[in-house]
C-alpha cells in the first residue's frame, strides 16, 4: 500500500516528492490484445504514468443497459503489470474528439443544454453511471495497492460553463463513491477558463501545447501553491475530413516538453499514443473561434501525430521526447518492446457480393417510424449510423426548390428513385438541391451522422434533420423514418442480407469479400474505389472511410485478422466501391 498526496509544491508518493511523467493512452482506442505493447512503448519513451478517459456512451447504449464496463479495470491491471501509475478521467464529459464528448445520445437528446449543469435529470443519470463505473477505479487506487493516483473532476469545464455548484456536486459524488486519491481539474491557462472550471480545494492543472512559463504564471494567479502540472501537453493534433493532415515538428514539440519540465512541473503528453476511432465513434467540431460554425467531422485515425504512431511504431518525435525525458526519469530507460506481428505480404480481395442499401435496411434496420415532421436521430434512438427519411411531394405542381432546414449532417437525396444530389451541413444547416423538383414525387433522404459535436457551445445538439423539408416555402409533412445503426451489423444478422453478384451499376449498399491471409498481423486496409462508408473485418468495425481525405487507409489490428479466410463487409453510402479491397503491409 502507498499514499499519494498533493503537497505545497510537489506531488508526494509515500511522503517523497515526485514528478509525474505521464502519457495519454485511451485504452478504448487500442485493441485490448495490444495494450501491453503500447504501455511498453510509453515506458521505453521515459514515462512512468499513463492517463486515460472513460467514454460513458461506449458502455451505456441505453438507460440501465451496459456493455463491457469492466474493460477499464482490465486496463488498469495492465498498467500495474507494466509498473506504471495511472490517472483516470471519468468525465462524465470527456471531449477527446469522441462522439458527443462521451455523453450518451439518449441523455443529451431530451436534455440538450441542461447537460453539464445541476439539472436533476442529468445528475441522476450521472450518479447511476458513476456508481456502476467507479468501484473498479476505487479498488485499484494506490492506497489499496493499485496504480491509480489521480482522478479528474469533469473535463475542461471552464471552456463550457460556469455552474460551480455542479462541479462541487461531482466532487462530493466522487468522494461518496470511494475515491480517496487526490482530485484535479484541467482547463486552458486563461482566466475565464480557470475561473469557470476550478473547484476550491481541488488541484487545478493546465492544458496547452507551448508557452509553459506563461501558462503556469496564469495558473499560479489562480492557485498560489500546489504542484504544477500540464495535464494535456498537446504534442500534435487531430484531423477533420477534407482538411490537411496536421503535423507538428518533432524538435519544436521536444523543446516545448523541455520547457514544461524546466519549470519543475509534471506533464501528461497528449497524446503519447493516439490509436483509432474504431466503430464510428469519432466526434465532430464546429468551425470558428467560438466553435459555432460549420460542422467538421473528425477522421477515423486518432494518430494525433503522437510520438507512438497509430500502428504503435516509434516516430522521430518518440526519439526526441526520449532524449528529454531521460534527463528527468528515475533510473535508466527501458528498451523498446518487441513489435507486434505485421502482415507478411500485401493481399488483395474482391468485393464480389452486394446488396442494395434499401434491402440492407429492410433486414438490419429499426422499425419504421411515422411522424408529421422528420424525427431526429435522438428521437429514433440512433447513435451511430444513418436514417432514411421518406416523404411525398403532392401534385400536380410545378418545379420548385427542395431544401432542408436544420440539417446537421450529410444527406444523399433521391427523387423517384433517382439520385438528385448530396446536401452537406458543411455548407450550412439550411441547404437546397441544385435542381427544382416537380410534383407529385417520392423523396428519400438518406442522412448519415458524421459524428456528434464533442466540444464547445454546440455540444448536445441533435443529429439528422432537426428542422424540416420544404418545397418552395411550404413544409412537407407525413414522414416515414427508419434507422440503420452500426451496431446492427453482427454476423448472424448480416448473414440474412440477400447478397447477389455485384452488378455493373452497383452503388450504395453492403459489399462483401473474403480475403485469404497467410502471415496475419497489423496492416492497412484500403478501398481504392470507395467514396464514403464503413468497413468491418470479421465483424470488427474499423470505422469510417471517405475519399475526401486526408486519411487514405484504415488501421487494421493484427488480432482482428485470421490465418486463412477473413470476411470483409463494406457499407458504401454514396457511390460504389470498385471491386478491390487491399490489405497493405505497415
For 336-363, write each residue's pLDDT tens digit: 999 999 999 999 999 999 999 999 999 9
Q: Catalytic residue at 232?
A: yes
Residue 237 lies in a domain: yes
Q: Is the pLDDT confidence value at 579 over 90?
A: no
Torsion-angle region of residue 139: left (phi > 0), alpha (psi -120 to 50) or beta? alpha
Find the catalytic residue in 51, 232, 461, 572. 232
Q: Are residues 468 and 541 in the same domain?
A: no
Task: Residue 435: count other Cβ atoms within 10 Å of its Cβ.
Answer: 11
The mean pLDDT of 12-21, rounded to a whole number, is: 98
CB of 103 closer than 8 Å to CB of 154: no
CB of 402 closer than 8 Å to CB of 414: no
Q: Are residues 133 and 244 in the same domain?
A: yes
Number of domains in the chain: 3
The mean pLDDT of 252-264, rounded to a whole number, is: 98
Q: Is the pLDDT confidence value at 328 over 90?
A: yes
Predicted local distance difference test score (pLDDT) of residue 482: 98
Q: Is the pLDDT confidence value at 102 over 90?
A: yes
Predicted local distance difference test score (pLDDT) of residue 52: 99
Residue 92 lies in a domain: yes
Nearest residue to 511 (alpha-carbon basis) of 484, 535, 487, 542: 535
Q: Are residues 498 and 564 in the same domain?
A: yes
Cα–Cα distance list, 337 to 34, 41, 82, 327 (Å): 12, 7, 11, 21
CATH number of the CATH domain containing 105 = 3.20.20.80
- pTM > 0.75: yes or no: yes
Predicted local distance difference test score (pLDDT) of residue 427: 87
Q: Are residues 467 and 528 in the same domain?
A: no
Predicted local distance difference test score (pLDDT) of residue 576: 82
Q: Are residues 301 and 378 in the same domain?
A: no
Q: Are residues 472 and 541 in the same domain?
A: no
Q: Are residues 84 and 58 in the same domain?
A: yes
Q: Are residues 299 and 427 in the same domain?
A: no
- 89: cell is 478521467
Give 376-423 pLDDT, tens digit per residue.
999 999 999 999 999 999 999 999 999 999 999 999 999 999 999 999
Q: Are residues 427 and 503 in the same domain?
A: no
Percentage of residues of the chain with pLDDT beyond 70: 100
Q: Is the pLDDT confidence value at 578 over 90?
A: no
Q: Is the pLDDT confidence value at 504 over 90?
A: no
Q: Are residues 500 and 523 in the same domain?
A: yes
Q: Are residues 472 and 492 in the same domain?
A: no
DSSP state letter for 244: P
Q: Is the pLDDT confidence value at 503 over 90?
A: no
The mean pLDDT of 64-75, rounded to a whole number, is: 98
Residue 190 lies in a domain: yes
Nearest residue to 37 (alpha-carbon basis) of 358, 375, 452, 339: 339
SS3 for 90? coil
CB of 411 closer than 8 Å to CB of 447: yes
The band of 129, judged by pLDDT with boundaries at 50, 70 and 90, is very high
Residue 334 lies in a domain: no
The band of 309, judged by pLDDT with boundaries at 50, 70 and 90, is very high
Residue with cell 510537489: 10
Look up the domain containing 123 and give its range.
Answer: 20-324
Residue with cell 488483395: 348
Residue 59 lies in a domain: yes
Cβ-based neighbours of 463, under 8 Å, separated by 6 or more:
105, 376, 377, 378, 382, 408, 409, 449, 452
Nearest residue to 4 (alpha-carbon basis) of 140, 206, 128, 177: 140
Predicted local distance difference test score (pLDDT) of residue 354: 96
CATH number of the CATH domain containing 540 = 2.60.120.260
CB of 298 closer than 8 Å to CB of 283: yes
Helices (H), 177-294: 191-197, 212-222, 250-262
- Per DSSP bridges, beta strands 266-273 and 229-234 are parallel
Predicted local distance difference test score (pLDDT) of residue 336: 98
Residue 361 lies in a domain: no
Predicted local distance difference test score (pLDDT) of residue 67: 98
Predicted local distance difference test score (pLDDT) of residue 1: 86
Nearest residue to 410 (alpha-carbon basis) of 296, 488, 530, 542: 296
Predicted local distance difference test score (pLDDT) of residue 92: 98
Q: What is the mean pLDDT of the chain?
A: 97
Q: Catalytic residue at 368?
A: no
Predicted local distance difference test score (pLDDT) of residue 428: 87
The band of 107, judged by pLDDT with boundaries at 50, 70 and 90, is very high
Give 412-463 pLDDT, tens digit per residue.
999 999 999 999 988 889 999 999 999 999 999 999 999 999 999 999 999 9
Find the catalytic residue in 51, 97, 154, 156. 156
Residue 221 lies in a domain: yes
Last residue of a domain, one of 477, 497, 518: 477
Residue 332 lies in a domain: no
Spatial distance between the Cα atoms of 279 and 98, rounded to a whole number of angstroms: 11
Q: Are residues 320 and 469 in the same domain?
A: no
Predicted local distance difference test score (pLDDT) of residue 180: 98
Burial class of residue 327 in the structure, from the number of CB atoms within 10 Å of its CB (0-12 exposed, 13-18 middle, 19+ buried):
exposed
Spatial distance between the Cα atoms of 545 and 527, rounded to a whole number of angstroms: 8
Task: Residue 172: count other Cβ atoms within 10 Å of its Cβ.
Answer: 10
Amino acid at each position: 500500500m502507498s499514499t499519494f498526496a498533493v503537497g505545497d509544491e510537489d506531488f508526494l508518493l509515500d511522503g517523497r516528492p515526485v514528478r509525474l511523467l505521464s502519457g495519454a493512452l485511451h485504452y478504448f482506442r487500442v485493441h485490448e490484445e495490444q495494450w501491453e505493447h503500447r504501455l511498453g512503448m510509453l515506458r521505453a519513451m521515459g514515462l512512468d504514468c499513463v492517463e486515460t478517459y472513460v467514454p460513458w456512451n461506449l458502455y451505456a447504449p441505453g438507460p440501465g443497459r451496459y456493455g463491457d464496463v469492466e474493460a477499464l479495470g482490465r486496463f488498469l491491471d495492465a498498467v500495474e503489470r507494466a509498473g506504471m501509475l495511472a490517472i483516470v478521467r471519468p468525465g462524465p464529459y470527456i471531449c477527446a474528439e469522441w462522439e458527443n464528448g462521451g455523453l450518451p445520445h439518449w441523455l443529451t437528446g431530451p436534455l440538450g443544454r441542461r447537460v453539464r449543469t445541476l439539472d436533476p435529470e442529468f445528475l441522476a443519470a450521472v450518479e447511476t453511471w458513476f456508481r456502476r463505473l467507479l468501484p473498479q477505479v476505487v479498488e485499484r487506487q494506490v492506497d489499496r495497492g493499485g496504480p491509480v493516483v489521480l482522478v479528474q473532476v469533469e473535463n475542461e469545464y471552464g471552456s463550457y460553463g460556469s455552474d460551480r455548484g455542479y462541479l462541487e456536486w461531482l466532487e462530493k459524488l466522487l468522494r461518496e463513491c470511494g475515491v480517496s486519491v487526490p482530485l484535479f481539474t484541467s482547463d486552458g491557462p486563461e482566466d475565464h477558463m480557470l475561473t469557470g472550471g476550478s473547484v476550491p480545494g481541488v488541484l487545478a492543472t493546465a492544458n496547452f501545447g507551448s508557452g509553459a512559463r506563461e501558462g503556469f504564471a496564469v495558473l499560479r494567479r489562480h492557485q498560489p501553491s500546489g504542484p504544477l502540472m500540464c495535464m494535456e501537453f498537446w504534442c500534435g493534433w487531430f484531423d477533420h475530413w477534407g482538411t490537411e493532415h496536421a503535423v507538428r515538428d518533432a524538435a519544436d514539440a521536444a523543446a516545448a516538453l523541455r520547457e514544461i519540465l524546466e519549470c519543475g512541473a509534471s506533464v501528461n503528453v497528449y497524446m503519447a499514443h493516439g490509436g483509432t476511432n474504431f466503430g464510428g465513434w469519432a466526434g465532430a467540431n464546429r468551425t470558428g473561434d467560438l466553435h459555432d460554425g460549420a460542422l467538421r467531422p473528425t477522421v477515423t485515425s486518432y494518430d494525433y501525430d503522437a510520438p507512438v504512431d497509430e500502428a504503435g511504431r516509434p516516430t522521430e518525435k518518440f526519439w526526441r521526447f526520449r532524449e528529454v525525458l531521460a534527463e528527468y526519469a528515475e533510473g535508466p530507460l527501458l528498451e523498446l518492446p518487441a513489435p507486434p506481428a505485421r502482415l507478411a505480404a500485401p493481399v488483395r480481395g474482391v468485393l464480389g457480393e452486394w446488396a442494395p442499401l434499401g434491402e440492407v435496411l429492410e433486414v438490419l434496420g429499426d422499425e419504421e417510424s411515422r411522424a408529421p415532421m422528420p424525427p431526429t436521430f435522438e428521437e429514433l434512438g440512433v447513435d451511430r449510423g444513418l436514417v432514411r427519411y421518406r416523404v411525398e411531394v403532392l401534385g400536380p405542381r410545378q418545379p420548385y426548390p427542395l431544401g432542408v432546414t436544420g440539417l446537421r449532417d450529410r444527406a444523399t437525396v433521391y427523387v423517384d428513385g433517382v439520385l438528385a444530389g448530396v446536401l452537406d451541413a458543411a455548407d450550412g444547416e439550411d441547404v437546397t438541391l441544385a435542381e427544382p423538383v416537380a410534383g407529385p414525387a417520392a423523396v428519400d433522404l438518406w442522412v448519415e451522422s458524421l459524428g456528434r459535436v464533442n466540444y464547445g457551445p454546440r455540444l448536445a445538439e441533435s443529429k439528422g434533420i432537426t428542422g424540416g423539408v420544404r418545397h418552395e416555402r411550404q413544409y412537407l409533412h407525413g414522414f416515414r423514418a427508419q434507422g440503420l445503426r452500426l451496431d446492427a451489423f453482427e454476423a448472424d444478422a448480416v448473414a440474412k442480407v440477400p447478397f447477389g453478384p455485384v452488378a455493373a451499376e452497383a452503388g450504395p449498399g453492403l459489399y462483401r469479400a473474403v480475403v485469404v491471409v497467410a502471415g496475419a498481423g497489423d496492416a492497412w486496409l484500403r478501398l481504392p474505389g470507395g467514396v464514403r462508408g464503413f468497413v468491418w473485418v470479421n465483424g470488427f468495425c474499423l470505422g469510417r472511410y471517405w475519399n475526401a481525405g486526408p486519411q487514405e487507409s484504415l488501421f487494421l489490428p493484427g488480432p482482428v485478422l485470421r490465418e486463412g479466410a477473413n470476411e470483409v463487409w463494406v457499407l458504401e453510402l454514396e457511390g460504389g466501391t470498385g471491386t478491390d479491397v487491399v490489405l497493405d503491409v505497415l
